[in-house]
Amino acid sequence: MGPRLASEIPSDQFNKKPKDYLKKHSPSFKFKNISPSRVFKLLSSVKIAKATGLDKISNKILKLAAPVIYKCLTDLFNFSITSGQFPSDWKVAKVCPLFKSGEKCDANNYRPISVLPSIARVFEIILFEQIYCHLSNNKLLYSRQSGFRSLHSTVSALLDMTNDWCFNIDRGHG
């Protein structure tokens, strides 16, 4: 089956390089300043039950202090963007083992989770939103990209593949 399918691929396809598949796009990306209202909204919506990072600032404290600290944090975030510097303390995670299943005494039954400072997570959400918006608006995401996208999952990827398989079987390609 493999040689038959390979023979159906046009020969010019074998000479292509990975960059030949990339679209040429002129829009460049630049982070925008963050609004205080966005920072306040995110601080007010942090989940209190989430773990505390190495900075030992709990989400409960962030949520309670949001009305007082959101403007200063907005200035800090915007300074980070304009200077191109991400605070090094926000890059250090507390790694904890999380039990999956099976024997508790077997180390293979645990997976590591990295707990970053909550302020860093809030900042990452803001940066992610800007990058994702740019990628979506400029149609730079593959239409079948499922990971890390709203309303997409491994289930949608599997459904897509199953549909392709059924379609190809119906056309006699399988």
DSSP 136-160: HHTT-S-TT--TT-TT--HHHHHHH
Contact 136, 91 (CB under 8 A): no
**Is there a contact between 112 and 95 (Cβ–Cβ < 8 Å)?**
yes
Amino acid at 47: K
Local confidence band at 159 (pLDDT 50, 70, 90 cut-offs) = confident
Q: What is the pTM of this model?
A: 0.73
Strand blocks (E) in the chain: 94-99, 110-115
Reported as a pLDDT band with limits 50, 70 and 90, residue 47 is very high
Q: How many CA atoms lie within 13 A of 60 on its CB side?
A: 3
pLDDT at 24 over 90: no
pLDDT greater at residue 65 or residue 8? 65
Please give the average per-residue pLDDT across 102-106, as a whole number. 93
